[in-house]
Structure 1
Amino acid sequence: MNKIRHLINLLLVAFPFCDVNAQEPEFYQNPVIKADLADPSVIRFDGVYYASGTSSEWAPFYPVYKSTDLVNWVQVGHVFEQKPEWTESSFWAPELYVYDNKVYCYYTARRKSDHISCIGVAVANSPENAFEDKGPLIAIGSECIDAFVFNDNGQLYITWKAYGLDPRPIEILCCKLSPDGLRLEGEPFTLLTDEESIGMEGQCIIHKDDWYYLLYSARGCCGAGSDYEVRVARSKKMTEPFQKYSDNPILMRSDDFLSCGQGSVTTTPDGRFYYLCHAYQRDAKFYMGRQPIIQELVFGSDQWPHFKTGRLATSRQPMPFEGIKQDEWNQFADNFAGDKLDVSWTWNYTYCDVKAEINGNGKLLLSGNGIKEPSVAALCQRAPASDYCFSVNVLNDGRSMRGIVLYGDAENYVALVLRNKKLQVVSKCNGKETITSETSMKKRNVRLQAEVKDCRKLSFMYDDGSGMKELEPFSADASHTTPWDRVARPGVISAVLANSKEKPAEFSEFKIWKK
């Protein structure tokens, strides 16, 4: 024992600034929200952090997540349960903003009267309350997207991406807002222009010391070839053009992430800055979509913002607060025991108005009013990992299919279904249906299960009461189910037949778990 103490004393003499009791700082792993949630916006409201993001062609619209530590997030609702009357589709880039003890959401949607993307605004008493839509706010030119609002000493400004569909350089425009945040005042003016013709969008503004800093995203946002990155420009005044940083980008692709960008900044109670944006992971995890990542933003001696861990977007990040542990996802289970759907369920509204009912006895009844009949009603969850399993009990059979699905849209999916007393693997690619496996099935109550590997390779099983069995042939590839800006989601599916009086598909005990 004396020898050990002597050795410690020698170490303290040799390394007087070492703390032998110091512990390695805790770290978290990005993405912090393991869900396809592009273009995230983050705020701090009453001491709690809230985030929302693009829902695209999935309903309900603009999911809302909640966190107390910036690392662990749980979904608590949506901005809209029903789409606003003036809107048609393409629900992108919601911008949450706290003002006058209320929460505003400035959002992008396509207007149904002329199919042009405009910016609307909605207001709520808190992020967890229902938002009241106030209608379109900005409808200038052929497209207005990616709103961001900034309060400059009491004067509200709104910025947005303009001219993305026009034969001219893209610009970030800005305009004063009325004191209630619901109307433009004066004429728009230019903050930044895309002279390089590489793409520019997804901006946010922070003010520190004598400078206004505009963070924005450049290059391609979406798909396997995306190369999104975060850049910065600055100005001494909000109303003057911003000058781009000579050492851009400040955040870019890495060994962990294929691309990253389009986000906003929040602060901690002690004044630190954190930037929440989205990123594609590499390799098979690309098929999990654009997921939210968060990193600390610091200011260097050059008076420009930089990310604390460098310009490469990396998964491993130091914890923002002491005593925090990152929760690990293991499973999701829904016994359909309540009187309404769990907040995490989604459906693609562009092909079919999904009608999903909980009957109070642990059953989900799924049908729909087809826009393109015959069509399909699919009720889905966001994929939680690259490798996972999911299953459900199918309680009835009929002329229309009902089962489990990895669903991109109504024209592209892979499903294991019961239909006309047969168990079928159905693959639909660009609207063309192929039955790759078919087995007679006398039972009406069958548990169907899929194992997913690398987000898109499926193996199917079923239990007709005699134990789980593999379906022969039992494998399928769902690589074709990924739209340009979205990824496929696991869930349940039911056909919607034209003029059919057939009973809704009945399901019970849906479950997703880590493989």
Structure 2
Amino acid sequence: MRFKLLALAISILLGGVRPSMAQQVRANIPGDFADPSIIRKGNSFYAIGTSSEWGPHFPIFRSNNLQQWEQTGFLFDKAPSWTSSSFWAPEYFYHHNTYYVYYTAKRKTDGVSCIGVATSAYPDHGFKDHGIIIEYGKEAIDAFVYNDNGQLYITWKAYGLDDRPIEILGSKLSDDGLSLTGNPFSLLKDDARSGMEGQSIIKKGNYYYLFYSAGNCCGVSCSYLVNVARATAITGPYEEDTNNPVLSDNGAWKCPGHGTFVKDTAGNDFYIYHAYNKASNVFTGREALISALSWKPNQWPELKPVPVEPKSKENIHLHYNFAKPTGKIFWQWDFRNMKPVFRQTGAQLQVSGLYNSHHTAGIALTLRPYAAAYEISTAVLNSNKASKGLIIYGDVSAAVGIAVRQDKVEFWVVKDGKRNVLGEQKITDTGKPVYLKMAMLPDFTCKVYWKQQANWKELTPGKTAYPIGFLPPWDRSPRPGLNFQGTPDENAAFSFFDIRYTGEQ
């Protein structure tokens, strides 16, 4: 299978590792996969993560050993009718032979973040949405569900947008998992307003251990870390560990947080969470890491990283030849601003669709990048007035690309919502395919090339790498892919899409 090229050769080197991320040099699930939650079915593990403003919503990955992961699909191919944006913090739960995912999204009617729930008989497909389960003030996010000897509880973050201390709140949950019972109660309060969210609970002996994230989650100024507190009742009162944080900025990674636990078949506990790679930072987003849970003699926890061995650049190379069956390609797009139409037919991938008139980057059909240094390439097969080519897409107002438009090749940029052509060259033979290539360099610059014959021609002005540090949105990574800018009766025809990572992964 093509996705086996993404297999991660993880060495489980737990002995002697201090509770930091100093030895972790590669993510367990690389690429933008924030707020991960994990569950086990038999010998298989499933992980689901935040998709934010990318559709489809909430990517799901599967592993048989916590080492090699492959994507199986998405929770929702289409946004639930009550939602508008900000698909955050999905949380797995299993009860009565049913898989639940509690998730955060903004409500369409007023833009308030609420918590919804979907259920399925399967962990990675077939989910039915049941709508909002928690609406609480100006914001309710980051659900976590705990089964305490048959009584279900759900917890969430509240007051993050109010002028009052943030709290982790909880409530009893009905046995069917679809409604609250009784009155909410407070587990922890953040009087310093330094942030408190992404909580999960695990029990050992007489204590309930509440792990939570503090600080600023996202972007270059993030300050995330993980603290732990414990109580003899799930409702509290909770006592903080005097050695907090239990996870913090160290080694190759920074701003760890927002995780949940899973047991393997041997009964060992593991914690999946996200962090930023210090080398690629926001250009690969918050990536998923895994730590093993152990206990000190005083019965406070330690989290010890499960390191991943480095893989050379040759080990991650995806090539999709649209003249052959490609299997499932997990394209994503900015669902708020575009509605792509694409199909593989006649030895090509045809891309068209609708997008907002102010959206000058057009359609961006993209993939999650696994590192910040890569080359993408394609061949454009058709000639028309539409712009057709490659893109690195950040958001509606920030993108860069190379495209074929009639008899020209253009290097273009959208910055602050304005589109400019930075360079162009004449196509020598409009009857032949035009090959395009973009190189994303480790210093967050890019170069662009094209050819019809054997040799690449560089189109970057002055052959000087163009800085693209303006691309990343605050909470997610820019994404490479295919691009179409034109009317709905036009399309772009591509013969392949290739992404090759060009640095140590």
The correspondence of residues 493-508 of structure 1 with structure 2, limited to 5 A, is 493-496=483-486, 500=487, 502-508=489-495
Offset, 1:424: 0.9
Matched, 1:233 2:219: no
Tell me the residue number matched to 1:60.
Answer: 56
The CA distance in 2 between the partners of 1:448 and 1:338, in whole Å, is 20
1:196 pairs with 192, 198, 201, which one?
192
The CA distance in 1 between the partners of 2:148 and 2:488, in whole Å, is 59
The correspondence of residues 211-250 of structure 1 with structure 2, limited to 5 A, is 211-250=207-246
Matched, 1:119 2:110: no
Letter in 2 for 1:162: A
Letter in 1 for 2:451: D
The CA distance in 1 between the partners of 2:44 and 2:392, in whole Å, is 34
Taking structure 1 as reference, are residues 253 and 328 closer, same or farther at Cα in structure 2, changes over 3 Å only? Answer: farther
Q: Deviations over 1:373-417 (max 9, x none)?
A: 564110001112222111011112322211101110221011011
Tell me the residue number matched to 2:248.
Answer: 252
Matched, 1:470 2:470: no
The correspondence of residues 12-91 of structure 1 with structure 2, limited to 5 A, is 29-91=25-87
Tell me the residue number matched to 1:421.
Answer: 407
Partner of 2:213, secondary structure, is strand
Identity %: 39
Offset, 1:338: 6.9
The CA distance in 2 between the partners of 1:123 and 1:372, in whole Å, is 37
Tell me the residue number matched to 2:132.
Answer: 136
Partner of 1:485, secondary structure, is coil
Q: How many residues align?
A: 477
Matched, 1:382 2:368: yes
2:391 pairs with 393, 405, 420, which one?
405
The CA distance in 1 between the partners of 2:91 and 2:216, in whole Å, is 21
Moved more, 238-247 or 165-174: 238-247
Tell me the residue number matched to 2:307.
Answer: 316
Offset, 1:372: 3.6
Taking structure 1 as reference, are residues 492 and 140 closer, same or farther at Cα in structure 2, changes over 3 Å only? Answer: same
Matched, 1:512 2:499: yes
Instruction: Tell me, yes or no, if the aligned pair for 1:421 and 1:440 is still in contact at 8 Å.
Output: yes
Tell me the residue number matched to 2:379.
Answer: 393
The correspondence of residues 234-383 of structure 1 with structure 2, limited to 5 A, is 234-308=230-304, 316=307, 329-336=315-322, 342-359=328-345, 361-372=346-357, 375=360, 376-383=362-369
The CA distance in 1 between the partners of 2:324 and 2:181, in whole Å, is 47
Taking structure 1 as reference, are residues 163 and 131 closer, same or farther at Cα in structure 2, changes over 3 Å only? Answer: same
Moved more, 454-463 or 149-158: 454-463
Letter in 2 for 1:371: N
Taking structure 1 as reference, are residues 388 and 326 closer, same or farther at Cα in structure 2, changes over 3 Å only? Answer: closer
Instruction: Tell me, yes or no, if the aligned pair for 1:45 and 1:98 is still in contact at 8 Å.
Output: no
Instruction: Tell me, yes or no, if the aligned pair for 2:62 and 2:72 is still in contact at 8 Å.
Output: yes
Partner of 1:316, secondary structure, is coil
Matched, 1:146 2:142: yes
Partner of 1:481, secondary structure, is coil
Tell me the residue number matched to 1:19.
Answer: none
Matched, 1:490 2:480: yes
Taking structure 1 as reference, are residues 149 and 443 closer, same or farther at Cα in structure 2, changes over 3 Å only? Answer: farther
Moved more, 440-449 or 160-169: 440-449
Letter in 2 for 1:118: C
Instruction: Tell me, yes or no, if the aligned pair for 1:92 and 1:107 is still in contact at 8 Å.
Output: yes
Offset, 1:126: 1.2
The CA distance in 1 between the partners of 2:206 and 2:127, in whole Å, is 36
Instruction: Tell me, yes or no, if the aligned pair for 1:75 and 1:343 is still in contact at 8 Å.
Output: no
Q: Deviations over 1:402-461 (max 9, x none)?
A: 110111022101101112321111011110112111111144420101111117311211
Instruction: Tell me, yes or no, if the aligned pair for 1:102 and 1:124 is still in contact at 8 Å.
Output: yes
Offset, 1:70: 1.0
Tell me the residue number matched to 1:177.
Answer: 173
Instruction: Tell me, yes or no, if the aligned pair for 1:398 and 1:502 is still in contact at 8 Å.
Output: no
Offset, 1:316: 3.5
The CA distance in 1 between the partners of 2:158 and 2:441, in whole Å, is 40
Offset, 1:26: 5.3
Taking structure 1 as reference, are residues 25 and 67 closer, same or farther at Cα in structure 2, changes over 3 Å only? Answer: closer
Taking structure 1 as reference, are residues 337 and 124 closer, same or farther at Cα in structure 2, changes over 3 Å only? Answer: farther
The CA distance in 2 between the partners of 1:107 and 1:25, in whole Å, is 31
Instruction: Tell me, yes or no, if the aligned pair for 1:56 and 1:89 is still in contact at 8 Å.
Output: yes
Q: Which runs of 5+ in 1 are unaligned?
A: 1-23, 310-314, 319-324
Runs (4 or more) in structure 1 with deviation over 6 Å come to 325-328, 338-341
Tell me the residue number matched to 2:447.
Answer: 459
Tell me the residue number matched to 2:416.
Answer: 430
The CA distance in 1 between the partners of 2:335 and 2:168, in whole Å, is 31
Taking structure 1 as reference, are residues 227 and 505 closer, same or farther at Cα in structure 2, changes over 3 Å only? Answer: same
Instruction: Tell me, yes or no, if the aligned pair for 1:353 and 1:371 is still in contact at 8 Å.
Output: no
Offset, 1:239: 2.3
Instruction: Tell me, yes or no, if the aligned pair for 1:40 and 1:292 is still in contact at 8 Å.
Output: yes
The CA distance in 1 between the partners of 2:324 and 2:131, in whole Å, is 33
Instruction: Tell me, yes or no, if the aligned pair for 1:340 and 1:358 is still in contact at 8 Å.
Output: no
Instruction: Tell me, yes or no, if the aligned pair for 2:282 and 2:476 is still in contact at 8 Å.
Output: no
Offset, 1:471: 2.5
The CA distance in 2 between the partners of 1:491 and 1:279, in whole Å, is 24
Q: Which runs of 5+ in 2 are unaligned?
A: 1-10, 15-23
Instruction: Tell me, yes or no, if the aligned pair for 1:417 and 1:425 is still in contact at 8 Å.
Output: yes
Offset, 1:30: 3.6
The CA distance in 2 between the partners of 1:237 and 1:284, in whole Å, is 42
The CA distance in 1 between the partners of 2:319 and 2:241, in whole Å, is 48
Q: Give the structure-2-normalised TM-score.
A: 0.90
Taking structure 1 as reference, are residues 271 and 327 closer, same or farther at Cα in structure 2, changes over 3 Å only? Answer: farther
The CA distance in 1 between the partners of 2:443 and 2:179, in whole Å, is 44
Instruction: Tell me, yes or no, if the aligned pair for 2:313 and 2:501 is still in contact at 8 Å.
Output: no
State the Cα RMSD in Å. 2.2
Moved more, 338-347 or 293-302: 338-347
Partner of 2:102, secondary structure, is strand
Letter in 1 for 2:422: T
Taking structure 1 as reference, are residues 341 and 477 closer, same or farther at Cα in structure 2, changes over 3 Å only? Answer: farther
Matched, 1:105 2:93: no
